[in-house]
Structure 1
Amino acid sequence: MGDHDHHNSVRRSYDAVAEEYAARLHDELAGKPLDRALLASLLEQTEAGTVVADLGCGPGHVAAWLADKGARTVAIDLSAGMIEAGRRRFADVEFREGDLLELPAKDSEFGSAVAFYTIIHLDPGDLHRAFEEAGRVLRPSGLLLLSFHIDEEVLHRDEWWGHEVDIDFRFFDPARIADLLKAAGFTVEMHMERTHYEHEVATRRAYLLARRG
């Protein structure tokens, strides 16, 4: 499958589940204390007055949490359905439709960025380009907070909550992601792992905090 077809498949799949996804997960951070702590740390280290980007935002609940803490946020997602669901729910967040490989943002527009479980839908060959693009839209010394599932497997789904989808979920080795971030001009400052919470899918998760050079 080519890049264009792959991205269209991801877009269509998330469009199909957008409303149910938003309804089910709009307050998921309430049950994720470590995620909240990392987001709070990101905000504390973000240059005052700059914007925080939520890359691969889904319906925007992470961006909305950040906005509730006083941040100016821009939420970007490939899925128009997710963007529409987010706009209806979170008036304090600016939403933009766009691709991780070609972000709809100016150079150095953001003070920091978060990408929770976003790279899991990228082909491995696209990761370097995605990290370079994240670096482009961050200010010098801006921070990127990533999360993803740990392993080296690919899970495919053709059904999700009763909706027909065609989507892969890729798991990654944290050391490999750290190497790719360094190759894209970032310095990895933090690497944390945790097991799943009781209400989550049973995977081990990694968090990397990386600073743009």
Structure 2
Amino acid sequence: MTWLADTRASYDTVAESYADFVSDALEKQPYMRAALTLFAAQADGPVVDVGCGPGQFTGFLASLGAEASGIDLSPAMVGLARSAHPQLRFEVGSMTELALPDASVAGVLAFWSLIHVPDDEVPVALGHFRRVLRPGGLLVIGYHVGAGTRLKTEGYGGHPMRVHIHLRQPWWLARQVRKAGFTIEAEWSLDPENPVSQAILFARTAEES
């Protein structure tokens, strides 16, 4: 798929600049830290950070005591994550072909990674999230709120990129998440005064009967 190849190549190109850009991001984002803290507390077992980039969120989850690992499409990002967090496991992979066993994790984190997946592929990714989660497992998605798609051609450090950023309305994403078999437990709005705001969705799979 062209979008996958473009996304992988783009993030390989900007990997080091991106890692520098996000190195202190959580220090400036108390509500994001709170969401990750809640995720770590509510997921009873191993968790995976899908689209982990250089591993900043994975590392934070581990610092909270979570058994956290990461997966990213970009080999360069995975290399940086392994260097920064050698005690954690990071693998190269795609959320649309998630190479994890069924019911193998208690939590899936997709923080601003689903934004690069086209609308018609979102159900595929959500289906994999549902498949790998245990009964009662927790899914947390961070995303940009809005409408339409923006092509990003220049990225961190001024390097060339070619990635599409898909803005989504909360009602649309919620509908896709429910269709995939989740129950939505909470939705947070971040920076709602910003023209392009952000949101975090918390959803859970059904418990075993």
Task: Please give the range of the TM-score, normalised by the shorter of the 2 chains.
Answer: over 0.9
1:124 aligns with 2:119: yes
Q: 1:23 to 1:120 in 2, by over 3 A?
A: same
Tell me, in whole angstroms, the C-alpha distance in 2 between the residues paired with 1:12 and 1:212.
33
Which residue in 2 is equivalent to 1:148?
143
**1:122-176, CA deviations, whole angstroms, 9 ceiling, x for partnerless residues?**
0000111110100111111100011101111211121112211111111001111
Bigger mean CA deviation after superposition, 85-94 or 61-70: 85-94
1:84 aligns with 2:79: yes
Which residue in 1 is equivalent to 2:168?
172
1:41 aligns with 2:38: yes
Instruction: Give the length in aligned residue pairs.
Output: 205
Q: Structure 2 length as normaliser, TM-score?
A: 0.94
Q: Which amino acid is the alignment partner of residue 29 of structure 1? A: L
Gap regions ≥5 residues in structure 2: none
Q: Structure 1 length as normaliser, TM-score?
A: 0.92
**Aligned with residue 93 of structure 2, among 95, 98, 104:** 98
Which residue in 1 is equivalent to 2:197?
204
Q: CA deviation at 1:202?
A: 6.0
1:114 aligns with 2:109: yes
Q: Which amino acid is the alignment partner of residue 211 of structure 1? A: R
Percent same amino acid at aligned positions?
Answer: 32
Q: CA deviation at 1:92?
A: 2.6
Gap regions ≥5 residues in structure 1: none
**Aligned with residue 184 of structure 1, among 152, 168, 180:** 180
**1:25-65, CA deviations, whole angstroms, 9 ceiling, x for partnerless residues?**
12311111001111111111111xx2111011111100000
Q: 3-state SS of the aligned residue for 1:157?
A: strand
Q: 3-state SS of the aligned residue for 2:96?
A: coil
Q: 3-state SS of the aligned residue for 1:101?
A: helix
Aligned-residue CA RMSD (Å)? 1.4
Tell me, in whole angstroms, the C-alpha distance in 1 between the residues paired with 2:49 and 2:192.
22
Q: 1:41 to 1:98 in 2, by over 3 A?
A: same
